[in-house]
Structure formats: C-alpha cells, structure tokens
C-alpha cells in the first residue's frame, strides 16, 4: 500500500527533496504559500493541496522544510497546524534549521499533542538536495531513530542520530558556524584578490591545491565564472539566501551566549551578512557578500 506523506515548504531545498520522496514511491501532499514553489513541485508529481489540514488528513508522516524557527513553530502549533491536524502517533520530521530552543519546545509540544517530533536539519546545500546526498543530523528519542533513518534514506547518504531533543540542531548550529564563517571569508578573499588584480580562475586552481581549500570555496565560489554551477556564475541567484545564512550565524551567536563560549569571528561574520542582507542582498545567494564588500552596488541592485 502506498504511504502518504505531507510536505510543508517546497522552496529551494524542499522542492528537490519532496521530488525524491515521490520517486521513492510515496504519495506526497504538498503545501507552500508561494504559487511558484507549488507549480514547480506539482511538475515533479507532488499532489498540491490547499493547506496543512488537507495535507495531513491522510498522511502518516509529515515533513517540513521552512525558513526559520518561528515559521516552523507557527506551522506546527497553530490551531490549524500540523500537530492539531495529525492523527495520534504521526511522525513529524522537520528538516529546517531552527536552533536548539525551538527544537526543544517543539519536542515538548508534540509530545503533549500525542504526535512524534523529530528534528533532522541537513547539510549539503541545494546540490545535496538535488542529488539525494544530504547529511542529516537527527535529534530524537532513541526509540524513533531507526524509523527516522528509514524515512530519510531517499534524501541523504549520511544519516546521523546525534542524540535526544535539541542535539541535531546543536550539531547543525556548530556545522553552520564553520560553513558561514568560511563563506564570509571566501567573499572577503575574493574581493581582496580582485582588488589585487588576481585572475580568480587561476587563483581557484592554486587555492584548491593549497592550504586555503575549503568546501564552500569549491562549490560556492564567490567570483563569477570560476565554478560553472556556483550561484556567482548565475547572477548570484540563491542557492543559500543571505538572510538564511545570517539567521544561521545568529543561532550560533545565541548558542554561544547561552553557554558562555567566545565567538568573535562568528559575531563579525553575522554583522557583515546582516549588513548585506539589510541593504538589498537578503534573497540573493550569500556569496553575493563579495559584491557588497567590493562596494559593487550597481551589480548588487541588478
């Protein structure tokens, strides 16, 4: 018998991820507030429905891939949200990056509502979502870890059960601290290299064979025309939106304050990404910070 799942959030990540679930043989009821996202998902075989209540009506599993903690909280706990619309025992897997506090709150609220909440934030970008090669950082009770891995298997190739509530998000916050600071410094380095007159394509060949090599420099190189598939080579179309990267840095800074860890580098990266986000770059790919740092306002507005 075909298993029905509900999928809330069909954006840059949710769209290719839900497509893999369709291809794996699930019936997928999809919801998104953006008509463009809905159209794209419908073309992949997702059954677009009007709202969360309809999506959950015949679903035994619910996935969400939404921008931020407050979005997920809203979608899960509102009167016509996922928790209230799901049958008792329904498994709800949220793959968004929402931070530790929201994750813990939602585990508790789910348990009160008689459903099972599993946090499963991801790493690997839109490329990993497209290829089904994401890394998942799962936070849930041990009893649900095997089922979570089984359900996520069409989407990723490394599925780690980190521990109980909040731990998946803790791993994600630490991972994205490293990634977001790398993206920021890659943008600074690119703006500097260009000012120094370096051929950034040639510099790329040097850097990936040198001590500067890092994942985001290879995949999301900030200089146009260096990596064919990178957002920089496509007018900085996201990819990973600047405001979402700033959000991830804010989650790291918050977590650091909570436990008394010094995070000066993250705080500087957060300030730079926020500055760029608040001056027109929010929905561009985060590597467009290189334009902001180079003061290429015109290119940015385009």
Catalytic positions, please? 172
Stretch that binds ligand NAD, among 7-15, 102-110, 144-152, 208-216 (CB under 6 A): 7-15
Pick one of 37, 55, 207, 252: the residue that binds ligand NAD (CB under 6 A).
37
When asked if residue 62 is in the footprint of ligand NAD (CB under 6 A), the reply is no
When asked if residue 80 is in the footprint of ligand NAD (CB under 6 A), the reply is no
Nearer to ligand NAD, 10 or 151 (CB): 10
Look at residues 197, 173, 56 and name the one whose alpha carbon lies nearest to residue 121.
Answer: 173
When asked if residue 126 is in the footprint of ligand NAD (CB under 6 A), the reply is yes
Q: Indicate the length of the chain as a whole number.
A: 302
Query: DSSP E strands: which ranges in 46-107?
Result: 47-48, 61-64, 91-94
Q: How far is the CB of 261 from ligand NAD (least distance, A)?
A: 21
Tokens representing residue 246 in the block? 């700033």
Contact between residue 61 and residue 39 where contact means Cβ atoms under 8 Å apart: no
The footprint of ligand NAD on residues 89-118 (CB under 6 A) is: 96-97
Pick one of 23, 33, 114, 205: the residue that binds ligand NAD (CB under 6 A).
33
When asked if residue 240 is in the footprint of ligand NAD (CB under 6 A), the reply is yes
Q: How far is the CB of 198 from ligand NAD (least distance, A)?
A: 27
Compute the distance between CA of residue 84 and CA of residue 181 in angstroms, rounded to an integer.
Answer: 39
Nearer to ligand NAD, 30 or 165 (CB): 30
Within 10 Å of residue 297's Cβ, how many Cβ atoms? 12
Pick one of 6, 11, 252, 272: the residue that binds ligand NAD (CB under 6 A).
11
When asked if residue 250 is in the footprint of ligand NAD (CB under 6 A), the reply is no
Nearer to ligand NAD, 33 or 261 (CB): 33
Burial class (CB in 10 A: 0-12, 13-18, 19+), 141: middle
Pick one of 5, 6, 12, 255: the residue that binds ligand NAD (CB under 6 A).
12
CB nearest ligand NAD: which residue?
A: 11
When asked if residue 208 is in the footprint of ligand NAD (CB under 6 A), the reply is no
Contact between residue 82 and residue 76 where contact means Cβ atoms under 8 Å apart: yes
Q: Is the dihedral of CA 20, 26, 27, 32 positive or negative?
A: negative
Stretch that binds ligand NAD, among 62-70, 160-168, 257-265, 289-297 (CB under 6 A): 62-70
Within 10 Å of residue 44's Cβ, how many Cβ atoms? 17
The count of residues interacting with ligand NAD (CB under 6 A) is 25
When asked if residue 194 is in the footprint of ligand NAD (CB under 6 A), the reply is no
Tokens representing residue 140 in the block? 């849930």
Compute the distance between CA of residue 124 and CA of residue 181 in angstroms, rounded to an integer.
Answer: 16
Contact between residue 117 and residue 140 where contact means Cβ atoms under 8 Å apart: yes
When asked if residue 71 is in the footprint of ligand NAD (CB under 6 A), the reply is yes
Compute the distance between CA of residue 161 and CA of residue 175 in angstroms, rounded to an integer.
Answer: 15
Contact between residue 126 and residue 16 where contact means Cβ atoms under 8 Å apart: yes
Tokens representing residue 139 in the block? 């936070």
Stretch that binds ligand NAD, among 19-27, 53-61, 66-74, 289-297 (CB under 6 A): 66-74
Positions touching ligand NAD (CB under 6 A) are 8-14, 31-34, 37, 65-67, 71, 75, 96-97, 122-123, 125-126, 240, 244
């Amino acid at each position: 018998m075909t298993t029905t799942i509900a999928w809330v959030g069909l954006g840059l990540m949710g769209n290719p991820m839900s497509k893999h679930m369709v291809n794996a043989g699930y019936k997928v009821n999809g919801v998104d507030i953006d008509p463009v996202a809905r159209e794209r998902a419908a073309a992949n075989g997702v059954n677009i429905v009007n709202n969360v209540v309809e999506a959950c009506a015949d679903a035994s599993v619910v996935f969400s891939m939404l921008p931020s903690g407050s979005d997920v909280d809203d979608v899960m706990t509102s009167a016509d949200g996922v928790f209230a619309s799901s049958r008792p025992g329904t498994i709800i897997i949220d793959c968004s990056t929402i931070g530790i506090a929201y994750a813990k709150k939602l585990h508790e609220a789910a348990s009160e509502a008689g459903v099972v909440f599993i946090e499963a934030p991801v790493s690997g970008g839109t490329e990993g979502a497209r290829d089904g090669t994401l890394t998942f950082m799962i936070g849930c009770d041990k009893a649900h870890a095997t089922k979570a891995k089984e359900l996520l298997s069409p989407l990723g190739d490394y599925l780690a059960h980190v521990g109980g509530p909040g731990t998946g998000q803790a791993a994600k916050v630490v991972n994205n601290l490293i990634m977001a600071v790398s993206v920021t410094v890659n943008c600074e380095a690119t703006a500097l290299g260009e000012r120094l007159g370096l051929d950034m394509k040639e510099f790329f060949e040097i850097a990936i064979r040198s001590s500067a090599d890092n994942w985001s420099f290879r995949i999301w190189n900030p200089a146009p025309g260096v990596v064919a598939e990178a957002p920089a080579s496509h007018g900085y179309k996201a990819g990973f939106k600047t405001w979402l990267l700033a959000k991830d840095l804010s989650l790291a800074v918050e977590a650091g304050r909570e436990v008394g860890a010094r995070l000066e580098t993250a705080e500087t990266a957060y300030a730079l990404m926020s500055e760029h986000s608040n001056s027109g770059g929010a929905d561009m790919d985060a590597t467009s910070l290189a334009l902001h740092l180079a003061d290429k306002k015109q290119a940015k507005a385009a």
